[in-house]
Amino acid sequence: MERYVAFLRGMNLGNRRIKSPELVGHFEAMGLEDVATFRASGNVVFVDPEGESESRLQKRVEEELDERLGYDVAVFLRSAKEVAAIAARDPFPAKAIKASKGKPQVVLLGRKPTAKAKKAVMDLAPEGDLMVLERRELHWLPTVGLSETELDTKALDAALGKGTTRTAGTIEQIAAKYCG
């Protein structure tokens, strides 16, 4: 049985509020097992006992959450193995991380970006920010905190498709706790 992490976009923002026990209940009602949440920001770990394909499982989770919550929920699904691999990546030099006022970020994407999308993203990077696209993730080291960044996130979504962002530290903590 495969363990997955569902990274949900836009949870607990604005008028959208859902408590962890309620979110766990929705996933269990879908027939998923060993369900746990990590922080209140839309990170759900679970086991799929049916062994559905990842694409079918992602679509089913999105559709069922949309129906249960009454709004669209973008789901970025990764296997435990993929989360462990993302956490193990070290795309930025330690010196750059230490010099940055921002934290390393991981933008989880719905699909692997094209060469054209990769170029567009690099053109969007604010001066001094470092960006590395690997597989279905954008690793980003902003020079400032996220609230001060000049990165045009709407243009980023236009280039790559919607994604959801987590700190690299959050990904590492999820991997350490659930993906070992």
Ordered by where they begin, the domains of the chain are 2-79 (3.30.70.1280), 85-178 (3.30.70)
What pLDDT is attached to residue 174?
A: 97
Checking if the pLDDT of 41 tops 80, the result is no
Note the pLDDT tens digit of each residue in 115-172.
999 999 999 999 999 999 999 999 999 999 888 999 999 999 999 999 999 999 999 9
Distance of alpha carbon 93 from alpha carbon 95, whole angstroms: 5
Mean pLDDT of 38-61: 93
Distance of alpha carbon 3 from alpha carbon 80, whole angstroms: 6
Strand 130-134 vs strand 137-141: parallel, antiparallel, or unpaired?
Answer: antiparallel
What pLDDT is attached to residue 39?
A: 87
Task: Read off the pLDDT band of 23 (50, 70, 90).
Answer: very high
Checking if the pLDDT of 180 tops 90, the result is no
Cβ(74)–Cβ(9) below 8 Å: yes
pTM above 0.75, yes or no: yes
Checking if the pLDDT of 16 tops 90, the result is no
Copy the structure tokens of residue 128: 């001094």
Q: What is the mean pLDDT of the chain?
A: 93
Helix (H) or strand (E) holding 102: none
Cβ(76)–Cβ(62) below 8 Å: no
